[in-house]
Amino acid sequence: MVDLRRVAITGIGVVSPVGVGCEAYWQGLLSPQPTSERREVDFDPRDCYDDPKAIRRADRFEQFAICAAEEALSQAGTLEVPGERVGVLVGTGIGGVLTHEAQTLVLAEKGPRRVSPFMVPMMMANAASAAVSIRYGFQGPCETLATACATGTHSIGLAARWIQWGLCDAAVAGGSEAAMSETAINGFANMKALSPSGRSRPFDARRDGFVLSEGAGILVLEEWETAERRGATILGEVLGSASLADAHHITAPAPGGRGAVRCMEHALRDAGLEPGSIAHVNAHGTSTPLNDASEAIAIAEVFGTGPGPVVTSIKGVTGHSLGAAGALEAAAILLSMQHELIPPTDGLEEIDPELPRIDLVQKEPRVWTPGPSISNSFGFGGHNGTLVIAPA
């Protein structure tokens, strides 16, 4: 068996509803959740684009990805590998739905000749990956995943495998989502997924649904020795990942968290770690009754109900950004390692007594000694994703 190459993380870029840029995002994670029912990003694309025409020809989810990639690549510094050895994998759960909705209204109100010729390249799911590739001249693998709310996690995991397998020496990977169109919002609301109270309460006894949000998270991944050789600051390491299906239901998780258990166990094996090595779990924790119960059961089964990893869900603050969520949560783990502090699960006031006992962070941040950590993501369709990230 060929030895797999190590994967270093050398850059982080964030566009989130609680802060644009890593520092603002970190401060947002330590603050109470916004009071708005929709967690929208306060964002000006002119910060990342010089050409106004380019802004008009890019859907909002593509703009987020470009801005986050710019920050991540700036932090990583000059990649000392040729462009054909750099891959791009920016996933999205829904893609350019804002463009799709807007142009559908144009068609209905003004007729077919007024539909924009830029509609297709703006709404296509691979627009963000393509835009990053074109902007920076990256000519390695350039792909897009769409696995609902597991997308960001899957994208980072697969891009890391490209480097492990030698398909490229560096990759820009993550997820981006801007899906708060009126059609999408009402679709989620009518399926009873959204919180009628407008509060995100992961693992709380009164949790009643998620709060929809948007954003992007991008990581720069590099082959370890290449990053070391150029003197890059290594922020962390991708040790392993897993991607498995429930094969159970289009929206509900498998009973008893079976899919989540299998996914975490596979990721641990991929990383070469035992459950006792894990110091922290960044939970998917959407604040829906079924998801949180299923994940808590799975965490307890994998790690036991005694002293185990510290668990938090940042969705109390960020809301649920669908295909971007896993990437934003991977970024949160890396920032927690840098600051030696785990943000609390905001909105968690009374732990649901029906859940098994896991070590949830409540009310105040938790000081910790950084160690190998897990990030979980579970998406509609039964998609399960787990990343294992270690400190540098």
Q: What is the pLDDT of residues 291-302, one digit of tens each?
A: 999 999 999 999
Q: What is the pLDDT of residues 249-265, one digit of tens each?
A: 999 999 999 999 999 99
Does 78 score more than 90 pLDDT? yes
Does 2 score more than 80 pLDDT? no
Q: CA separation (Å) from 323 to 65, 138, 327, 377?
A: 12, 23, 8, 10
CA 332 to chain centre: 9
Structural tokens at position 46: 């002119």
Does 220 score more than 60 pLDDT? yes
Query: Is 249 one of the catalytic residues?
Result: no
User: Among the options 100, 154, 280, 284, which is catalytic?
Assistant: 284
Provide the strand spans (E) within the chain: 7-16, 19-20, 86-91, 142-143, 170-177, 215-223, 236-245, 280-282, 310-312, 341-342, 359-360, 366-367, 373-379, 383-391
Residues 123-138: what's their mean pLDDT? 98
User: Among the options 100, 154, 280, 320, which is catalytic?
Assistant: 320
Query: Is 149 one of the catalytic residues?
Result: yes
Query: Is 67 one of the catalytic residues?
Result: no
Name all domains of the chain by residue range, CATH numbers in brackets.
Answer: 7-378 (3.40.47.10)
Q: Name residue, tokens 């897009």.
A: 144
Burial-class residue 178 by CB neighbours within 10 Å (0-12, 13-18, 19+).
buried
The pLDDT score that the predictor gives to residue 342 is 98
Q: What is the pLDDT of residues 224-254, one digit of tens each?
A: 999 999 999 999 999 999 999 999 999 999 9
CA distance 268 to 329: 18
Residues 108-117: what's their mean pLDDT? 97
User: Among the options 149, 154, 168, 383, which is catalytic?
Assistant: 149
Q: What is the pLDDT of residues 305-328, one digit of tens each?
A: 778 999 999 999 999 999 999 999
The pLDDT score that the predictor gives to residue 120 is 97
pTM (predicted TM-score): 0.97
Query: pLDDT class for 1, splitting at 50, 70, 90?
Result: very low
Burial-class residue 192 by CB neighbours within 10 Å (0-12, 13-18, 19+).
exposed
